[in-house]
Amino acid sequence: MHEREADELGLRYLYRRLDLDVMGQPATAVGDVLAAARLVGYDGLNVTHPCKQLVLPHLDELSPDAEALGAVNTVVFRDGRAVGHNTDWSGFARAFDRGLPDAALDRVVLLGAGGAGAAVAHALLTLGTRRLTIVDVDAARAGELAGALGDRFGADRATGAAPATLDATLREADGLVHATPTGMAAHPGLPVDAALLRPDLWVADIVYRPLETELVRTARRLGCRVLDGGGMAVFQAVDAFRLFTGVEPDAERMLAHFTELVAGPGPDVRIS
């Protein structure tokens, strides 16, 4: 997606996957990878699960958003310094704005309080969600995230809740955002009971492989307004591309490329 957009813009741009599993390295080796990338002259890196927090001590500076979120998915090397940014939250916010404009934001339920869930929660509150209920099988994690958001946005804006309360909370909600791994090719299934989906509930899934998750398919069939995870994946890349190059990419063109890419076979992961 990055390379194709750069080709369109006439930029010379190499985007390489450095996969710790393929390298036989633990997640804690992210600092070594960062140092190696800096040494050999990369302009920056995207960082993904499970390294978005582990990378923090290896950075010289954080953008205000990355600092607030305590997570980095984009590192830019500039003037000898490694600067961490978070484009997951801005990517979700833009995708949401584009895909579900005018969606009611009075009461929203977020399922999943992990790294991506934290970025989505920041975006939802920034977009104006009045009351956000965060549900996670790890109820303590949901509570911690709600507490951190409360410090930034106001104590009454976010609440952590256990899965047992999901039915009651969803019945009163305007929208549901799903941010757990359920629905990915490796974790198929529906994260909530289909009986809880009703036509006046909007549903956003952030899983994007496949784009048409069981949740997206079921919610659409039941008449809900639906947003799939593709927009977030693309717009986080749009914001990262701008940070790496200083050039504004064509977001709609990247979205079209991405849709083509996810429809094809998965990447061939090999390092030689």
Ligand X SMILES: O=C(O)[C@]1(O)C[C@@H](O)[C@@H](O)[C@H](O)C1
Ligand Y SMILES: NC(=O)c1ccc[n+]([C@@H]2O[C@H](COP(=O)([O-])OP(=O)(O)OC[C@H]3O[C@@H](n4cnc5c(N)ncnc54)[C@H](O)[C@@H]3O)[C@@H](O)[C@H]2O)c1
Binding site for ligand Y (CB under 6 A): 49, 88, 111-117, 135-138, 141, 163, 179-182, 184, 191, 206-208, 229, 232-233, 236
What is the closest distance, in whole angstroms, from the C-beta atom of residue 266 to ligand X in the complex?
13
What is the closest distance, in whole angstroms, from the C-beta atom of residue 227 to ligand Y in the complex?
10
Q: Which C-beta is closer to ligand X: that of 124 or that of 240?
A: 240
For ligand Y, which residue has the nearest CB?
A: 114
Catalytic pick from 52, 58, 178, 257?
A: 52
What is the closest distance, in whole angstroms, from the C-beta atom of residue 144 to ligand Y in the complex?
10
Q: Which C-beta is closer to ligand X: that of 49 or that of 221?
A: 49
Residues that bind ligand X (CB under 6 A): 46, 48-49, 73, 88, 233, 236-237, 240
Distance CA 162, CA 176 (A): 15
Q: In what order do the strands lie in the sheet containing 74-78?
A: 44-46, 74-78, 81-85, 61-62
Distance CA 53, CA 267 (A): 25
Candidates 168, 174, 209; CA nearest to 192 is: 168
- Joined together, the tokens standing for residue 226 give 């639906």
| Catalytic-residue membership of 150 | no
- Joined together, the tokens standing for residue 262 give 């996810």
Q: Which C-beta is closer to ligand X: that of 2 or that of 131?
A: 2
- Give the C-alpha distances (Å, rounded to integers) separating 126 from 96, 130, 249: 12, 10, 24
Q: What share of the chain is helix, strand, coil (3-state, %, to 5)?
A: 45, 15, 40
Q: Which C-beta is closer to ligand X: that of 49 or that of 81?
A: 49
What is the closest distance, in whole angstroms, from the C-beta atom of residue 164 to ligand X in the complex?
29
Distance CA 143, CA 113 (A): 9
Task: Give the residue numbers annotated as catalytic, written as ranges.
Answer: 52
